[in-house]
Every structure is written in C-alpha cells, then in structure tokens.
Structure 1
Amino acid sequence: MRRTSHETYETVFSVAYLGLVTNALLAVGLAPLLAVLLTTDPASSWPLLAVLLPLATPTLAAAFAVFAAYSADPTIGVIRTFARTWRTSFRRAATIGALAAATLVVLGVDAHAAATRPVAAWAVPVLGVVALLVVATTLLALVATAEVPGARLRAVLKAALYLGARRWYLTVVSLAVLALLVGLLAAKPALAIGLATAPLLYVVWANSRFSLRPALPAHEAPSPT
C-alpha cells in the first residue's frame, strides 16, 4: 500500500485551513445580514435586508479574492488577503450591492403590484427572471472586482450583465449553488455557516470566473480544465 506523501498532507491541511478560516471570516462579515435572515420573516423584513446587502457584498468580494489568490499561490495569508481586499474594495463592492438592492426592491414592488392585475400571468415571471439576472450580475461583478480591482465599475457591470446572459448555462449553475446555500442556511444554519458557506461560494467563484474569462486579462483568465 502506497504511503500518503508529505505534500498530500500539506495540501489537505491547506485546503481545510482555507475553508475553515474563510467560513469564519464570512460568518463575521455577514453576521448582520445572517442575523436578520435567520430571526425574521424576509417577507416583512426586506427593507432592512435591502439596507444590509451593500454592507455584505464587500465580504463576498473579499472571499472571492481569497479564492483567487489561493488558486495562484496556496501559501497566501488568508486573513491578510481577506482584510486587505475588504478594505480596498469596500466602496466598489458596496456600490454594487446598493445597486443590486435598489433594483431588487423596485422589481419586488412591481411584482407585488402586478400580482393582482390581469398581467400577472406573464409580468411576474418576467420580473422574476430579471431579478435572477440581477443576482447573477452582482455575483459576476463581485468576482470581477476581486480579479481586476482596477477595472472601471461601469465596464465591470456591463461585462457581468452581458456574460451572465450570454453564458446563461453557467449562470444557472451559480444560481443553483447559491440557492442550495440559502436552503441549507434555512434548514441547518449552524452547518451552513460553520462548514458549507466557503466551499459552496468557492464553486460559485470558480464558475463565475470561467464565465468572465473573455473579459479577463490574458494572465488572469483561468485555463480550461
């Protein structure tokens, strides 16, 4: 029987450390949003959730930056990379979150108003699809912010919207993983926050990064697997 090499042990411990520490950082950064989600009915607390969303998106951008840095160099300092990215990208990531929150609020109000009218049969599904596209664009924009911090916000949003729609099959995967995370948070919050958040967000990051490949600089673009 072949013995497990020292490098294999190092890789396993490195990945475990990445997941556990990133989970802890996400739990701290997303604590206000998670607290409201887990202790209130989102249908009634949505105004507060809309306010908290822009404060949560810098944490997601920082986690995506950690994943990107780790994929390039597994010896990176997870906490240092997270803290640096959170600080330097806070304004841009918060702006992306604010735009997403405002758009989702408008779409939600429109859907509520349309639900009692004859147009509900087609208007509500259309608004739902647009809302999903907003979520996907937000994720892609946050990943792009982590990958290319110096890019213009307008260019980032345009690329995220265009590639999110054009590569819809990848977008569906990211949204499905995100839905799985939300469902896990609702059913088993301790498991989701303690163990599952970072791995599932890593899948979202990797998938989104591949979606953004045509818009990334040549040296940043991930190679196909």
Structure 2
Amino acid sequence: MTAMRRISHGFASTAFEVVYLGVATNAMLALACLPLLVLAIGTNPAESWPYLAAAAALAAPGVSAAFTVFHEHGRSGAGPVRAFLRGYKATWRKALGIGAATAALLVVLLVDVRALAASALGVVVVPVLLMLSVLALAAGMLALVAIAEVPVARLRDVLRAALLLGVRRWYLTIVSLLIAAVQIALFANLPAIAVGVTAAAALYLIWANCRYTLRPVLPAAEPVTD
C-alpha cells in the first residue's frame, strides 16, 4: 500500500512537471511570436505574406529559446520560464540571422515557383525550387536546434552542419518536416489549440529528432540518448 502511494505520488509529480513545462513554454513562445500569430490569424496570408515572412524571422529567437528549455530540462534547476529567457538572451542574435536568411530564401524560391509554374520551364525548374525550399526550411530548423545546444558555436559552422546533416540524414529530416506540417495544419484550423496546447509538444518532437540528426557534431560532453 505504501509502495503504491509512493508510485502514485511520483507519477503525479512527474505529470505536473510535464504539464507545467508545456504550459509555460507555450505561454512564453506565444509572447515571443506574438506579431506572427496576430498576422497569421488576423490577415489574409495571400495578401500579407511579405509581413508574415518578416514576422516569421522575428519569431525565430522564440523557437530557439523553446529548444533551450527542452535542452535544459532535467539538467539544471532552472524552471522553463527562466530557461526560456536565458535561451532567448543567449541565442537571439544568431536565431534572428537564421530566421531572416531562411525566410528570405523561402520568399525568393516560392516567388520563383509562382512565376515559373505556368511556363515551359516550370515542369523542370519548379520541382527543383520546391526541393530547395524544403531543404532551406529543414536547415533552418536544424540550425535553431544547434544554437540551442551550443550557443557559442559559430554561425557559419552551424549552417554548414545543418545543411550537410539535413541532407545526409534525410529520413530524420522528413520526420521533422512532417511534425511541423501537422502543427501548421492544426494552427490553420484550430489556432487556439495549436498555440495553447500542442505547440510545445510539436517543438519538443522536432527538437529531439533534430538533436539526433545533429548527433555527429554535438560536443562529446553532451551525449544524446537514443
């Protein structure tokens, strides 16, 4: 009976900790990405896409800060709010550069796709451009995870590792992209649920998968558990 009480107490404590981690991360992420959320919910994306691209770049530090929360969970005594703020402070410059580069590249590629879709070259060029768009998005996600894991890493090295490992471990990259696609689709239909409930869970899965992708270049002192 005593053992059952101990197990129940431990389970309840763990469950509360996980719920608090998700709720706190969702709240901090929503604040950090507020301009993007307002534009995505309150405007027509077909008309406001330039502003959405800029807001997405500005939201990148919030994503890297959320990845920092997952990285520090269980490693330090800091709660998710402190970990988020610390991660934001440590990574915002690099994250903003990654977000801006990714958003700019996606805009250029997708505008070209639209311009060439109806042309004779479209059959050949459009699939290549779409593939490059997917690769840019994947490399951006991997780079944000990388700076959360190693904030002092040089941005050039981070981008190189993200690009090379994203291609080499393409099967893991596809998983991360599918998780992101499901979360985006959920946001399009149920934004309140996507922002308030599933955002942290989706980002955690992306973080864990991308971290495994980056395993060959992570410091030996920071082993990744299979």
Fold agreement, TM-score > 0.5: yes
User: What pairs up with 1:200-219 in 2 under 5 angstroms?
Assistant: 200-219=202-221
Pairing 1:166–2:148 present: no
> 9, 12, 17: which one pairs with 2:12?
9
Deviation at 1:121, TM superposition (A): 1.4
Letter in 2 for 1:22: T
1:49-107 Cα distance to aligned partner (Å, 9 max, x none): 1211221000000000000000434x431111111111221111000011111111110
Identity of aligned pairs, percent?
Answer: 49
Deviations 1:16-46 (A, max 9, x none): 1000110111111111101111222222211
1:88 pairs with 2:90: yes
What aligned pairs does 1:173-184 form with structure 2 within 5 A after superposition? 173-184=175-186
1:110-163 C-alpha deviation (Å, 9 max, x unpaired): 112211211111211211111111111000000000000111000000000000
1:26 lines up with 2:52 in the alignment: no
1:27-66 alignment runs, 5 A limit: 27-66=30-69
Residue of structure 2 in register with 1:122 after alignment: 124
Structure 2 counterpart of 1:154, from 144, 153, 156: 156
Number of residue pairs the alignment of both structures matches = 223
The amino acid that maps onto 1:64 is F
Structure 2 unaligned spans of 5+:
none
Q: Distance in 1 between matches of 2:224 and 2:63?
A: 20
Q: Which amino acid aligns with 1:211?
A: T
DSSP 3-state at the match of 2:73: helix
Q: State the TM-score, normalizing by the size of structure 2.
A: 0.95
Deviation at 1:190, TM superposition (A): 0.8
How far, CA to CA, are the matches of 1:166 and 1:92 in structure 2? 24
Q: 1:14 Cα deviation (Å)?
A: 0.6
State the Cα RMSD in Å. 1.3
**Structure 1 segments unaligned to the other structure (5+ residues):** none
Q: SS at the partner of 1:151? A: coil
| Equivalent position amino acid for 1:166 in 2 | R
Q: Equivalent of 2:138, from 116, 136, 157? A: 136
In structure 2, what residue type is equivalent to 1:103?
A: L
How many Å separate the matches in 2 of 1:137 and 1:184? Answer: 23
Q: Give the letter for the 2:131 counterpart.
A: V
> Which shows bigger deviation, 156-165 or 112-121?
112-121
Q: Using the alignment, how far apart are the partners of 1:203 and 1:144 within structure 2?
A: 15
Residue in 1 that maps onto 2:102? 100
